[in-house]
Amino acid sequence: MTKLPIKSEVLEYTKGQLSVEKVEIAKLVKKTGTPVYLYSKKAFLDQFLELQKALDSLDHLICFAIKANSNLEILKLLKSKGAGVDSVSGGELFRARKAGFSGNKVVFSGVGKTDREIIEAIQYNKTGILSFHVESIEELFRIDAIAKKLKRKVGVALRFNPDVDAKTHPYISTGLKENKFGLQSDELDEAVTLLKGLKHVSLHGLSIHIGSQLLNLTPMQDAFYRLLHKTEKVEKALSYRLKYLDLGGGIGVQYKKEDKPISLTQYGKLIKKVFSKTPYKILLEPGRVISANAGVLVTEVLYRKPRSEKDFLVVDASMTELARPSLYGSHHEIIPVEEALFTDRKKQTTDIVGPVCESSDVLGRDRDLSMQLKRGDLLAILSAGAYGFTMASQYNSRPRPAEVLISGTRHRVIRKAENYADLIHGES
Ligand code: LLP
């Protein structure tokens, strides 16, 4: 069997063609068109259930980070297995409500919650949400004032910035002192003191999130112990016990051959080692690890531009469908859908670029790809299920693509491709 550049239980060359589960990509995109996001139901569930299993003996709730993949059908799928959600905006709270999450399964993070968002969270499904993850002292006062007006008492957690270096890309590192996120140790102590004077918020927990795409458990372990230490201090000051600790998300995935992701079993073991003897419910906010390798973005080759140093393949997907490579220089494996083009030994150094009028519109740089690849051939951009569609834009007036969920031999369009009318929606 032809070996793929990254490990996958759901992608495979069969009968000379790349398939997602039992669906041949080439056949499917004849119906859907390209570019298109294809998701595997099995891949989402496998990851979610494996994480759940890794935490089995622990009282826990996995709150999927909506920002990674916010499609309603994906949210409903995870909900059906017992997931909660981590939201960071009023829009994500709206999606959570539409997907049917009850308030006690919703947490609300985010460094700049507006009054409107705070009201929406307090009034979520009438009951309100499980936890506001408070990021500043001013926010704490704001929530208290709004809760007072609405005659409610709301549960909050303080987001602790544990000052550990997650050693990931600086744009997705969040747990260092210089980052805008969370309360530094002394700010958190002050917040606890001030809380005592506030009648409409109750402190139920602490939360952390130190960064994303972490491929090493050591910074997480450091952060967990710092969190535990802080919890003891906070409880002394409060003279009561907290109910939950939220460990955030951040587990990395395999994007390229060399990446060695953290095993979910090891991650679970670490969490159990640190927290199993504590009385707290453990909340988690994983996004990428559940969704990244459940999705591919399929694109068609439009043109080849041969150059002396390397060729360019211009494709019909771009930074507007998948922003990660142009925004962070992220690597996504890009492979031909036709097996013969994948295994072809006559390769050429190639940049895969989109049609957008920006030099940064590059999906893959210096890739060794078959010289035979030409107009009409299909490429699959792997690991695109997290921060793919959710970061898509309409720049250059490009309608956003469809999302399709595959299960076994079946597929379902779970978001239609936008059309030109969608581009001017709301313009007078
Ligand atoms: N919780 C909080 C408070 C977060 O800020 C994030 C991600 C998560 C959970 C989920 O993290 P995950 O498990 O997915 O690593 N657009 C970037 C990633 C930004 C992550 C932002 N926060 C990318 O494409 O790599």
Q: Is the CB of 370 under 6 A from ligand 1?
A: no
* Ligand 1, atom 5: closest residue by C-alpha: 209
Q: Is the CB of 168 under 6 A from ligand 1?
A: no
125 to 94, 119, 129, 293: CA distances (angstroms): 10, 12, 8, 32
- Residue whose CB lies within 8 A of the most ligand 1 atoms, among 62, 64, 66, 67, for a mutation test: 67
Residue among 154, 99, 91, 164 nearest 128 (CA): 154
CA distance 133 to 63: 13
Question: Which long-range contacts (C-beta less than 8 Å, at least 24 apart) are formed by 191-198?
Answer: 191/134, 191/137, 191/140, 191/158, 192/158, 192/234, 192/237, 192/238, 193/237, 194/137, 194/140, 194/141, 195/140, 195/238, 196/238, 198/140, 198/141, 198/144
In this predicted structure, what is the pLDDT of residue 399? 98
Residue 160 has which token pair? 């602790």
- Residue whose CB lies within 8 A of the most ligand 1 atoms, among 62, 160, 173, 209, for a mutation test: 209
In this predicted structure, what is the pLDDT of residue 428? 87
In the reported structure, the alpha carbon of residue 348 is separated from the centroid of ligand 1 by a whole-number distance in angstroms of: 35
Per-residue pLDDT of the chain (428 residues; tens, 9 = 90+): 899 999 999 999 999 999 999 999 999 999 999 999 999 999 999 999 999 999 998 999 999 999 999 999 999 999 999 999 999 999 999 999 999 999 999 999 999 999 999 999 999 999 999 999 999 999 999 999 999 999 999 999 999 999 997 766 666 566 566 678 899 999 999 999 999 999 999 999 999 999 999 999 999 999 999 999 999 999 999 999 999 999 999 999 999 999 999 999 999 999 999 999 999 999 999 999 999 999 999 999 999 999 999 999 999 999 999 999 999 999 999 999 999 999 999 999 999 999 999 999 999 999 999 999 999 999 999 999 999 999 999 999 999 999 999 999 999 999 999 999 999 999 98
CA distance 133 to 111: 9
In this predicted structure, what is the pLDDT of residue 168? 65
In the reported structure, the alpha carbon of residue 387 is separated from the centroid of ligand 1 by a whole-number distance in angstroms of: 8
Read out DSSP for 235-250?
HHHHTS---EEE----
How wide is the angle at C-alpha 418 spanned by C-alphas 420 and 81, nearest 5°? Answer: 170
- Residue whose CB lies within 8 A of the most ligand 1 atoms, among 132, 212, 213, 331, for a mutation test: 212
Q: Is the CB of 90 under 6 A from ligand 1?
A: no
Residue 188 has which token pair? 């958190």
Q: Is the CB of 295 under 6 A from ligand 1?
A: no
In this predicted structure, what is the pLDDT of residue 166? 73
* Ligand 1, atom 19: closest residue by C-alpha: 172
Atom of ligand 1 nearest to the CA of 109: 3
In this predicted structure, what is the pLDDT of residue 180? 80
CA distance 327 to 388: 12
Residue 161's CB: how many other CB atoms inside 10 A?
Answer: 25
357 classed as catalytic: yes
Q: Is the CB of 55 under 6 A from ligand 1?
A: no
CA distance 244 to 248: 12
> Which residue do the tokens 């408070």 mark?
134
Q: Which residues, in sequence order, are bridge partners of residue 319?
A: none
The pTM (predicted TM-score) of the whole model is 0.97
Q: Is the CB of 226 under 6 A from ligand 1?
A: no
In this predicted structure, what is the pLDDT of residue 177? 67
In the reported structure, the alpha carbon of residue 202 is separated from the centroid of ligand 1 by a whole-number distance in angstroms of: 26
